[in-house]
Structure 1
Amino acid sequence: MARKKKSSSADDIIALAALMPWWLAVALAFAAYAMLHGYATAPVDVISAKPGDMGRLVTSQMLRTGAMVGQYLLPVLLLLGALSSVIVRRRSKTLLATAATGDQADALQAMHAMSWQEFEQIVGQHFRSQGYSVTEHGGPGPDGGIDLALEKGGERFLVQCKQWRAVKVGVTIVRELYGVMASQGATGGFVISAGAFTADAQAFSSGRNIELIDGGQLARLMRGSGPEIAPRAHPATAAQPSPGGVKACPLCGNHMVVRTAKRGGNTGQNFWGCKRYPACRGTLSY
């Protein structure tokens, strides 16, 4: 989602801490103070230093000066991030409760009035309510094609949120998510929009472990009148022979070809690999 603007190092530290559980950011703040304070107050033996050591002493003094400032600045930034973490999560619960009340039109209106940050927060909170462990990839810097990473039952899922009001989400967004899923070995993925999806996007997701959730469906889910969000079952979950005895890829369903491992513990051994590699990394034993 091309939306992040350039930020300062202090902003980056606060944003990073805000993505952590608040207690972890607080613990890091105390640990940073203890470490930097110890270095800033350590004695320096200048009298016994030799002339050739002056460069080292100057560098050490510069680091000491940085530690004297950092022993207060870094903990403050981490604590601000911890406070932001508490506020963000509390606000996301409030937003989720707001979207869950009233009829579907009210829920849609509430989602359209949100910022993209708030939209991602309520989506993340909704997945948490379903038992997923959620990692947010928002904040400064590019998001790598995903906004949320989910863990449940030992499986990893990726989520891309599009809080678009008028424009339909096209196939390019779905293709990008599918590419990131393949590179990270994710089990499935979700593209969630407050609006709608084009026919091409819906066609591309068909037969793949990608679930498209539009605004109407998301509103029903948050109001408790829709089924639990889950990736659709992929028809090729096991090795299926295709014409000519060629295997079908368990990830994307395309034909597989025989390859030879060139490194690792299986060097020299043959295996079935998806012909779409590296876009798809599906493999099977030969």
Structure 2
Amino acid sequence: MARKRTSPFEDMILIVSKLPWWAGLALSLVSYMVLHAIASRPVMPSAATPGQMGDAVAKSLFTTMAMFGQFVLPIAFGFGALLSGISALRQKKLYDNVATRPGVAALNEMSWADFERLVSEYYRRNGFQVTREGGNGPDGGIDLVLRQKSETYLVQCKQWKAYKVGVQPVREFYGVMTARGVAGGYFVTSGEYTGEAKTFAYGLNITLIDGRKLREMIDVASKTVAVSAPSQPAVTPPVCPKCSAKMKKRVARQGTNAGKEFWGCVAYPKCNGTAPL
């Protein structure tokens, strides 16, 4: 099926929508400021000699383009940022929903696009900067680019549940990894791999992740360890220095120490013995 023809404006929105939403917003603001500064310049010098006319016409054309671009580009970048933000929220909701469902059934029920979003969110939550390239649909292309510190990794997603992933897609993926010179790659499927695919990947910088392994990874990442604040050691109340009875915490209501806690005798008002905390 032929790819639907789109305009440059739509292509720009699509490209920016694959970036983090804040990156698209930054592009929108910066493009407006830069183009607005250019568009604010005089279109034609007030006194141009014949030898300067050609240069003046070129500059005026550039300025005129900036006059339109100062609105078109920020709008395109803004739409892209909005789509990116919506996609990020949808991605988080999808991941949280899958995390609450046991087994691999949830992986098999989703579309290839949602499967890609799920994998993207997993790596994002595990410290990677994720850029979605989108591949070429459900059957090909690099889907995600991961960056962590100075290293880059590629990810290809296959939402195949009807049959096993063979060696050919894995071999092609490795070829792309080699051509780009990345640190490693992750081939993720909701199904399984053939023995030949596993043999090919053995010893290479490719990690094959099948549906069961992905499910385990999500389960482990989703478990939150409740780290409670260290309990304070129990403080034994002192004895009253006047009557040797027990003391309890009290709060001063007046004087220079108003609002501060202190130890007061439990026999108060019969005994007004006190001690500092």
Q: 1:139 to 1:50 in 2, by over 3 A?
A: farther
- Cα offset for 1:212? 1.4
- The answer as to 2:165 corresponding to 1:164 is no
Residue identity over aligned pairs, in percent, reads 42
- Bigger shift: 125-134 or 5-14? 5-14
- The answer as to 2:197 corresponding to 1:198 is no
Give 1:230-269 correspondences, 5 Å limit.
none
In 2, the alpha carbon distance for the partners of 1:117 and 1:97 equals 16
Amino acid at match of 1:202: K
Equivalent residue number for residue 107 of structure 2 = 108
- Cα offset for 1:74? 0.5
Equivalent residue number for residue 88 of structure 1 = 87
Runs of 4+ in 1 over 6 A off after TM superposition: none
TM-score, length-normalised on structure 1? 0.67
Q: Which of structures 1 and 2 has the larger relative contact order (alpha carbons within 8 angstroms, sep 6+)?
A: 1
In 1, the alpha carbon distance for the partners of 2:38 and 2:149 equals 44
- The answer as to 2:36 corresponding to 1:34 is no
Q: Deviations over 1:124-179 (max 9, x none)?
A: 110122223323222789xx952222234654322111123424322121112222
In 1, the alpha carbon distance for the partners of 2:76 and 2:82 equals 10
Give the number of the structure whose alpha-carbon radius of gyration is greater.
2
Equivalenced residue count is 221
- Cα offset for 1:73? 0.8
Kept in 2, the 8 Å contact 1:149–1:156? The answer is yes
Kept in 2, the 8 Å contact 1:4–1:139? The answer is no
- Cα offset for 1:44? 3.6
- The answer as to 2:126 corresponding to 1:130 is yes
Q: 1:45 to 1:187 in 2, by over 3 A?
A: closer
Give the unaligned 5+ runs of structure 2: 223-277
In 2, the alpha carbon distance for the partners of 1:42 and 1:216 equals 61
For the aligned residue pairs, the C-alpha RMSD in angstroms reads 3.0
Kept in 2, the 8 Å contact 1:145–1:176? The answer is no
Q: Deviations over 1:175-215 (max 9, x none)?
A: 12222332333332211112222332122112222221122
Equivalent residue number for residue 252 of structure 1 = none
In 2, the alpha carbon distance for the partners of 1:158 and 1:5 equals 27
Equivalent residue number for residue 121 of structure 1 = 117
Amino acid at match of 1:99: V
Give 1:264-283 correspondences, 5 Å limit.
none
Kept in 1, the 8 Å contact 2:98–2:106? The answer is yes
Kept in 1, the 8 Å contact 2:43–2:63? The answer is no
Amino acid at match of 1:49: A
Equivalent residue number for residue 58 of structure 2 = 59
